Amino acid sequence: MKALTFSTFGSSAVLEYIEIPNPILKSDEILVEMRAIGLNFADVYRRKGNYHLKGNPPFIAGYEGAGVVVNANNQPGFKIGDRIAFADVPFSNAELVAVTIANAIPLPDSIPFETAATILLQGLTAHYLATDSHKTKKGETVLIHASAGGVGQFLTQISKLLGATVIGLTSSAEKAEISLKNGADQVYLYSNDWKTQVLSFRPNGVDAVYDSIGSTLNDSFEVTKMCGKVIFFGMAGGDPDFVNPRMLMDTSKTLTGGDLWSYLISKEERIKRAYQLFDWINNRDITIAPPTIFKLSEGKKAHDFLESRKSTGKIILIP
């Protein structure tokens, strides 16, 4: 089979589209022929050597995608031709992927392969953030960093669906328009004294802040109300500064972390959460922008486009 690989760490120049052996199935795996693969910043981090990575050189990145079963491996409940999606299976940047049955999400006919590869990782992240890390209530105001990004767009729509007022933060006027189209009530630019603007809109502070930037963590606390919460789930802008526990005690504010893998703990959880997303999409409660599509063989171009920060929607790879 062909796969997008790298044997050394570095820029996109280390990527190679080469022929490698087909996966050898374990007893609890099925073989899936990929039809669409999600590209995420985690794949860039893996390529650079600063994120967890499985296997040996040549390494294969990717954890998200959708395809068709071509070897059911005598697993009950699966047959050749079944449509399967997943959000947490390694080595997905390939024509064939060995998928552990616990990680396989049956894909309804109403959800195209491209849509599944577009929504699962970021959509499930937004889902747990709004329903577990912080149980969003009607009437609350939430602040979403990078609101025009992949997770930010889903998180804005889900928060609105659950009855919250949403303030978005973005880096450009163009991205602010995207955030507004996704339902944000107010959008402020990082370059325009956003903390003052947030507190002008909500003088007592917001109920919750979703911070995927990291370096803004203490700023996020400054615009959070007494007894409010900051949910820290990413470091796109670098490591966060130290948070003073005395501040948390004095203001009764809460800091919580978030990681998707803490919630995708069983086949039942994966299917339940994914099908909630599928229902929202089928009912048009949530809309998604068309993804930018590259061939898997054009992986270098796809990585370069993702790193350019010019993309606003999802990037997917097609074998």
Q: Which residues of 5-34 are buried (b: 16+ CB within 10 A; e: fewer)?
A: bbeeeeebebbeeeebeebebeeebbbbbb
**Considering only CA atoms, which of 267, 252, 253 is closest in space to residue 208?**
253
Share of the chain above pLDDT 70, in %: 99
State which H helix or E strand residue 27 sits in. Answer: none
Domains, the chain, in order of start with CATH, read 2-120+263-318 (3.90.180.10), 138-257 (3.40.50.720)
pLDDT in tens, 219-259: 999 999 999 999 999 888 888 889 999 999 999 999 999 88
* Spatial distance between the Cα atoms of 204 and 141, rounded to a whole number of angstroms: 11
pLDDT attached to residue 313: 75
Question: Residue 107 above 90 pLDDT?
Answer: yes
Rounded to 10 degrees, what is the CA torsion of 71, 74, 79, 82? Answer: -60
- Whether 155 contacts 233, CB under 8 Å: no
pLDDT in tens, 126-146: 999 999 999 999 999 999 999
Question: Residue 45 above 90 pLDDT?
Answer: no
Question: Residue 279 above 80 pLDDT?
Answer: yes
pLDDT attached to residue 307: 85
* Spatial distance between the Cα atoms of 64 and 46, rounded to a whole number of angstroms: 14
pLDDT in tens, 77-106: 999 999 999 999 999 999 999 999 999 999
pLDDT in tens, 147-167: 998 899 999 999 999 999 999
pLDDT attached to residue 54: 87
pLDDT attached to residue 295: 98
pLDDT attached to residue 9: 96
pLDDT attached to residue 90: 94
pLDDT attached to residue 117: 97
Question: Residue 309 above 80 pLDDT?
Answer: no
Question: Mean pLDDT throughout 195-218?
Answer: 97
Mean pLDDT of the chain: 95
pLDDT attached to residue 130: 97
For the chain, the residue count is 319
- Cβ contacts of residue 244 below 8 Å, gap of 6+? none
Question: Mean pLDDT throughout 103-123?
Answer: 96
pLDDT attached to residue 74: 94
pLDDT in tens, 55-84: 889 999 999 999 999 999 999 999 999 999
